[in-house]
A and B are shown apart, each in its own frame.
Chain A
Amino acid sequence: MSEKVKLGRRSFLVAAGASGAAAAAAVASKVAPQQATTETPKADEKRKGYHLSEHVLSYYRTTKV
Protein backbone atom coordinates (compact mmCIF):
# COMPACT_ATOMS: atom_id res chain seq x y z
CA MET A 1 0.00 0.00 0.00
CA SER A 2 1.20 3.51 -0.70
CA GLU A 3 2.61 5.87 1.88
CA LYS A 4 -0.28 8.22 1.15
CA VAL A 5 -2.84 5.55 2.03
CA LYS A 6 -0.98 4.63 5.21
CA LEU A 7 -0.74 8.25 6.26
CA GLY A 8 -4.42 8.82 5.55
CA ARG A 9 -5.42 5.86 7.67
CA ARG A 10 -3.09 6.88 10.47
CA SER A 11 -4.34 10.43 10.62
CA PHE A 12 -7.92 9.13 10.56
CA LEU A 13 -7.18 6.83 13.51
CA VAL A 14 -5.44 9.57 15.43
CA ALA A 15 -8.29 11.99 14.79
CA ALA A 16 -10.86 9.42 15.84
CA GLY A 17 -9.39 8.63 19.17
CA ALA A 18 -5.79 7.61 19.27
CA SER A 19 -5.22 10.78 21.20
CA GLY A 20 -6.85 8.63 23.84
CA ALA A 21 -3.87 6.34 23.77
CA ALA A 22 -3.00 7.21 27.35
CA ALA A 23 -6.56 6.67 28.53
CA ALA A 24 -6.70 3.30 26.84
CA ALA A 25 -3.32 2.25 28.16
CA ALA A 26 -4.20 3.17 31.74
CA VAL A 27 -7.30 1.03 31.58
CA ALA A 28 -5.75 -1.84 29.66
CA SER A 29 -3.02 -2.07 32.27
CA LYS A 30 -5.72 -3.10 34.73
CA VAL A 31 -7.06 -5.78 32.46
CA ALA A 32 -4.44 -8.47 32.75
CA PRO A 33 -3.33 -8.52 36.38
CA GLN A 34 -6.82 -8.14 37.80
CA GLN A 35 -8.21 -11.02 35.90
CA ALA A 36 -6.06 -13.74 37.29
CA THR A 37 -7.08 -12.97 40.84
CA THR A 38 -10.71 -12.16 40.34
CA GLU A 39 -11.52 -15.16 38.26
CA THR A 40 -10.31 -17.68 40.74
CA PRO A 41 -13.25 -19.80 41.81
CA LYS A 42 -14.91 -18.70 44.98
CA ALA A 43 -16.44 -20.93 47.63
CA ASP A 44 -19.91 -19.73 46.75
CA GLU A 45 -19.22 -20.21 43.09
CA LYS A 46 -22.49 -20.53 41.31
CA ARG A 47 -21.27 -19.29 38.00
CA LYS A 48 -21.44 -21.61 35.11
CA GLY A 49 -20.52 -21.59 31.51
CA TYR A 50 -17.87 -19.11 30.59
CA HIS A 51 -16.33 -18.20 33.89
CA LEU A 52 -13.00 -19.86 34.03
CA SER A 53 -9.93 -19.46 36.07
CA GLU A 54 -7.89 -18.57 33.02
CA HIS A 55 -7.59 -14.96 32.11
CA VAL A 56 -8.77 -13.87 28.78
CA LEU A 57 -5.52 -12.36 27.63
CA SER A 58 -4.10 -15.81 27.45
CA TYR A 59 -7.18 -17.03 25.70
CA TYR A 60 -4.90 -17.77 22.84
CA ARG A 61 -1.29 -18.61 23.13
CA THR A 62 1.01 -18.51 20.25
CA THR A 63 2.33 -21.80 19.05
CA LYS A 64 5.05 -20.09 17.04
CA VAL A 65 7.89 -19.67 19.45
Chain B
Amino acid sequence: MNAASATIEQPRIAPEDQARADFYALLSRLFYAGPDAGLMAAIAGADEIVAEGDARVAEAWRELVAAAAATDPEAAREEYDLVFVGTGKAEVTPFATHYMTRTGAELILARLRGELARMGLARNPATREPEDHVAALCDVMRHLIVSGGAGDTAVQEEKGFFEGYIRPAFGAFCDAVLASPNTNFYKPVARFARAFFAVEVESFAML
Protein backbone atom coordinates (compact mmCIF):
# COMPACT_ATOMS: atom_id res chain seq x y z
CA MET B 1 0.00 0.00 0.00
CA ASN B 2 1.20 3.45 -0.80
CA ALA B 3 1.96 5.00 2.57
CA ALA B 4 1.36 8.54 1.35
CA SER B 5 -2.13 7.85 0.13
CA ALA B 6 -3.09 5.47 2.91
CA THR B 7 -5.59 6.93 5.29
CA ILE B 8 -6.85 5.43 8.46
CA GLU B 9 -10.56 5.52 8.69
CA GLN B 10 -11.47 7.74 11.59
CA PRO B 11 -14.48 6.65 13.58
CA ARG B 12 -16.93 9.39 14.42
CA ILE B 13 -16.28 10.66 17.87
CA ALA B 14 -18.47 12.43 20.37
CA PRO B 15 -18.03 16.21 20.80
CA GLU B 16 -16.68 15.81 24.33
CA ASP B 17 -14.08 13.35 23.08
CA GLN B 18 -13.14 15.69 20.25
CA ALA B 19 -12.67 18.44 22.83
CA ARG B 20 -10.43 16.16 24.89
CA ALA B 21 -8.39 15.30 21.82
CA ASP B 22 -8.07 19.00 20.98
CA PHE B 23 -6.95 19.86 24.50
CA TYR B 24 -4.35 17.09 24.36
CA ALA B 25 -3.18 18.42 20.99
CA LEU B 26 -2.84 21.92 22.40
CA LEU B 27 -0.95 20.76 25.49
CA SER B 28 1.28 18.57 23.34
CA ARG B 29 2.11 21.55 21.16
CA LEU B 30 2.71 23.94 24.06
CA PHE B 31 4.96 21.51 25.90
CA TYR B 32 6.87 20.64 22.75
CA ALA B 33 8.00 24.18 21.96
CA GLY B 34 7.13 27.76 22.71
CA PRO B 35 4.04 29.09 20.91
CA ASP B 36 4.23 31.05 17.68
CA ALA B 37 2.21 34.18 17.01
CA GLY B 38 -0.58 32.34 15.20
CA LEU B 39 -1.16 29.92 18.02
CA MET B 40 -1.03 32.68 20.65
CA ALA B 41 -3.60 34.71 18.72
CA ALA B 42 -5.83 31.65 18.43
CA ILE B 43 -5.68 31.02 22.17
CA ALA B 44 -6.22 34.71 22.95
CA GLY B 45 -9.28 34.77 20.71
CA ALA B 46 -10.75 31.48 21.89
CA ASP B 47 -14.27 31.28 23.23
CA GLU B 48 -14.91 30.85 26.89
CA ILE B 49 -15.74 27.43 28.19
CA VAL B 50 -19.04 27.43 29.98
CA ALA B 51 -18.97 24.84 32.71
CA GLU B 52 -22.22 23.30 33.77
CA GLY B 53 -20.78 21.68 36.85
CA ASP B 54 -17.13 21.44 37.79
CA ALA B 55 -15.67 24.82 36.83
CA ARG B 56 -11.94 24.02 37.17
CA VAL B 57 -11.28 23.59 33.46
CA ALA B 58 -13.40 26.62 32.53
CA GLU B 59 -11.57 28.85 35.00
CA ALA B 60 -8.14 27.63 34.01
CA TRP B 61 -9.08 28.12 30.35
CA ARG B 62 -10.16 31.70 31.02
CA GLU B 63 -6.84 32.37 32.70
CA LEU B 64 -4.89 30.80 29.83
CA VAL B 65 -6.81 32.85 27.25
CA ALA B 66 -6.11 36.06 29.19
CA ALA B 67 -2.42 35.17 29.51
CA ALA B 68 -2.15 34.49 25.78
CA ALA B 69 -3.66 37.90 25.06
CA ALA B 70 -1.21 39.60 27.43
CA THR B 71 1.96 37.77 26.39
CA ASP B 72 4.30 38.54 23.54
CA PRO B 73 4.79 35.27 21.61
CA GLU B 74 8.51 35.86 21.37
CA ALA B 75 8.70 36.20 25.16
CA ALA B 76 6.77 32.96 25.57
CA ARG B 77 9.17 31.19 23.20
CA GLU B 78 12.17 32.48 25.12
CA GLU B 79 10.52 31.39 28.32
CA TYR B 80 10.03 27.90 26.94
CA ASP B 81 13.65 27.65 25.88
CA LEU B 82 14.91 28.99 29.17
CA VAL B 83 12.84 26.68 31.32
CA PHE B 84 12.37 23.44 29.38
CA VAL B 85 15.37 23.20 27.12
CA GLY B 86 18.81 22.52 28.38
CA THR B 87 21.67 20.42 27.36
CA GLY B 88 21.78 17.86 30.13
CA LYS B 89 19.63 19.59 32.69
CA ALA B 90 16.69 21.78 31.92
CA GLU B 91 15.31 23.78 34.81
CA VAL B 92 12.04 21.89 34.45
CA THR B 93 12.51 18.63 32.63
CA PRO B 94 9.60 17.73 30.35
CA PHE B 95 10.23 14.00 30.64
CA ALA B 96 7.63 12.09 32.61
CA THR B 97 9.92 9.40 34.00
CA HIS B 98 11.78 12.08 35.92
CA TYR B 99 8.69 12.49 38.07
CA MET B 100 8.00 8.79 38.43
CA THR B 101 10.48 7.71 41.04
CA ARG B 102 9.10 4.40 42.10
CA THR B 103 10.47 2.50 39.16
CA GLY B 104 13.66 3.23 37.30
CA ALA B 105 13.34 5.49 34.29
CA GLU B 106 14.85 2.89 31.98
CA LEU B 107 12.31 0.27 33.04
CA ILE B 108 9.43 2.66 32.49
CA LEU B 109 10.79 3.70 29.11
CA ALA B 110 11.18 0.08 28.06
CA ARG B 111 7.60 -0.65 29.11
CA LEU B 112 6.37 2.48 27.32
CA ARG B 113 8.17 1.51 24.12
CA GLY B 114 6.62 -1.94 24.30
CA GLU B 115 3.16 -0.46 24.66
CA LEU B 116 3.66 1.98 21.79
CA ALA B 117 4.78 -0.89 19.59
CA ARG B 118 1.71 -2.87 20.57
CA MET B 119 -0.47 0.14 19.65
CA GLY B 120 1.25 0.32 16.30
CA LEU B 121 2.96 3.61 17.08
CA ALA B 122 6.54 4.34 16.18
CA ARG B 123 8.54 7.38 16.99
CA ASN B 124 8.93 9.73 14.08
CA PRO B 125 12.42 8.91 12.73
CA ALA B 126 13.38 12.60 12.83
CA THR B 127 12.52 12.83 16.51
CA ARG B 128 15.37 12.28 18.88
CA GLU B 129 13.81 12.82 22.26
CA PRO B 130 12.77 9.84 24.37
CA GLU B 131 9.16 8.70 24.27
CA ASP B 132 8.32 9.94 27.77
CA HIS B 133 8.34 13.61 26.76
CA VAL B 134 5.05 15.08 28.03
CA ALA B 135 4.34 16.38 24.53
CA ALA B 136 4.67 12.86 23.16
CA LEU B 137 2.47 11.36 25.88
CA CYS B 138 -0.24 13.95 25.18
CA ASP B 139 0.09 13.18 21.49
CA VAL B 140 -0.47 9.48 22.18
CA MET B 141 -3.63 10.31 24.13
CA ARG B 142 -4.88 12.49 21.27
CA HIS B 143 -4.17 9.66 18.85
CA LEU B 144 -5.96 7.09 21.02
CA ILE B 145 -9.03 9.33 21.37
CA VAL B 146 -9.41 10.20 17.70
CA SER B 147 -8.59 6.77 16.36
CA GLY B 148 -10.26 4.61 18.97
CA GLY B 149 -13.82 5.85 18.96
CA ALA B 150 -16.18 5.34 21.83
CA GLY B 151 -15.92 1.57 22.26
CA ASP B 152 -15.14 0.02 25.62
CA THR B 153 -11.78 -1.34 24.53
CA ALA B 154 -10.67 2.02 23.15
CA VAL B 155 -11.59 3.88 26.30
CA GLN B 156 -9.86 1.28 28.44
CA GLU B 157 -6.77 1.70 26.30
CA GLU B 158 -6.87 5.46 26.90
CA LYS B 159 -7.32 4.89 30.60
CA GLY B 160 -4.46 2.41 30.80
CA PHE B 161 -2.07 4.73 29.03
CA PHE B 162 -3.13 7.75 31.04
CA GLU B 163 -2.85 5.90 34.36
CA GLY B 164 0.47 4.41 33.39
CA TYR B 165 2.35 7.46 32.18
CA ILE B 166 0.52 10.75 32.65
CA ARG B 167 -1.20 10.40 35.99
CA PRO B 168 1.95 9.45 37.94
CA ALA B 169 3.87 12.41 36.53
CA PHE B 170 1.65 15.38 35.76
CA GLY B 171 1.16 16.64 39.31
CA ALA B 172 4.86 16.97 40.04
CA PHE B 173 5.57 18.27 36.54
CA CYS B 174 2.93 21.00 36.80
CA ASP B 175 4.14 21.87 40.30
CA ALA B 176 7.66 22.29 38.95
CA VAL B 177 6.44 24.61 36.19
CA LEU B 178 4.48 26.65 38.74
CA ALA B 179 7.41 26.81 41.16
CA SER B 180 9.87 28.06 38.57
CA PRO B 181 10.91 31.70 38.99
CA ASN B 182 11.27 31.86 35.20
CA THR B 183 7.77 30.89 34.12
CA ASN B 184 5.10 33.46 33.32
CA PHE B 185 2.95 32.29 30.41
CA TYR B 186 3.63 28.65 31.29
CA LYS B 187 2.10 29.03 34.74
CA PRO B 188 -1.45 29.30 33.36
CA VAL B 189 -0.54 26.57 30.87
CA ALA B 190 0.41 24.31 33.78
CA ARG B 191 -2.71 25.25 35.71
CA PHE B 192 -4.86 24.43 32.69
CA ALA B 193 -3.01 21.13 32.23
CA ARG B 194 -3.55 20.26 35.87
CA ALA B 195 -7.25 21.11 35.75
CA PHE B 196 -7.76 19.16 32.53
CA PHE B 197 -5.83 16.13 33.76
CA ALA B 198 -7.78 16.20 37.04
CA VAL B 199 -10.99 15.90 35.03
CA GLU B 200 -9.41 13.04 33.09
CA VAL B 201 -8.52 11.27 36.35
CA GLU B 202 -12.06 11.62 37.59
CA SER B 203 -13.70 10.56 34.36
CA PHE B 204 -11.49 7.48 34.04
CA ALA B 205 -12.29 6.58 37.64
CA MET B 206 -15.95 6.29 36.60
CA LEU B 207 -15.15 3.40 34.26
Q: What residues on B are CB-neighbors of A15 within 8 Å?
A: 51-54
Q: List 17 A-B contacts (CB under 8 A).
A: A12-B54, A12-B199, A16-B202, A17-B61, A21-B16, A23-B49, A23-B61, A27-B43, A47-B85, A49-B85, A59-B28, A59-B135, A60-B121, A61-B124, A62-B8, A64-B120, A65-B6
Asked if residues A19 and B123 are in contact (CB atoms below 8 Å), the reply is no
Of B22, B61, B94, B143, most A-chain CB atoms within 10 Å: B22
Chain B nearest CB from A37 CB (Å) reads: 8
Complex Cα spacing A63 to B116, Å: 10
Selected interface stretch from B31-39, B170-178, B181-189: B31-39
A residues adjacent to B (C-beta < 8 A): 1, 5-6, 8-10, 12-32, 34-35, 38-39, 47-54, 56-65
Q: Are A56 and B139 in contact (CB under 8 A)?
A: yes
Known: A25-B22, A31-B39. Contact between A58 and B52, CB under 8 A?
A: no
Whether B121 contacts A18 by the Cβ 8 Å rule is: no
B11 at the interface (CB under 8 A from A): no
Is A34 a contact partner of B87 (Cβ separation < 8 A)?
A: no
The chain B residue with its CB closest to the CB of A49 is B85
Tell me the chain B residues, 1-59 only, with Cβ under 8 Å from chain A.
1, 3, 6, 8, 14-23, 25-26, 28-29, 32-33, 36, 38-39, 41-43, 45-54, 56-58
Q: Taking CB as reference atom, which chain A residue is nearest B6?
A: A65
- Residue among B47, B48, B139 making CB contact with A59, cutoff 8 Å: B139
- CB-defined contacts of A28 to chain B, threshold 8 Å: 21-23, 25-26
